[in-house]
Amino acid sequence: MDKSTLARWRALPASAVLQAICDHAKVDPTYRPTKDQTSQRWHVSVATHDYELIVTGPRFWDTRAGHGGGGAIDLVCHLLGCTVVEALRRLAATGM
C-alpha cells in the first residue's frame, strides 16, 4: 500500500466509508449537533450488528461502545472487528 493511498483513506469522510461498507447506513435527520455543526448521527448495520455513530469529517464516535477514532482504516476495523491488514483489503475492494 503506498503512502498516498493511506493518506487518502485517513482523510476520507466517515460518511462515505459508511455508505461503502455497511449493509445499511442512514443519516438521522433529527440530530442536532451541539459542538461542531458539521457532525451527523448515522444508524448503520454491518453483519447483523447495529451501530449509532456520530461522524465529523473523517472522525467517528460509537455512542453505544464509547469508542471513536479517525480515518477509514480505524472505522473499518471498528465496524468489522478486523485487523488493519483486513481493513486495507476491504477498502481496496471498494475502490475508494
Residue 74 C-alpha from the chain's centroid = 8
Q: Going residue by residue through the chain (96 aa), what tens digit of pLDDT does each one get?
A: 789 999 999 999 999 999 999 999 999 999 999 999 999 999 999 989 999 999 999 999 999 999 999 999 999 999 999 999 999 999 999 988
CA dihedral 82, 88, 92, 93 (to 10 degrees): -20
Cα separation of 77 and 75, whole Å? 5
Residue 10 CA to residue 63 CA, distance in Å, equals: 21
Q: In whole angstroms, what is the distance from residue 37 CA to residue 33 CA?
A: 6
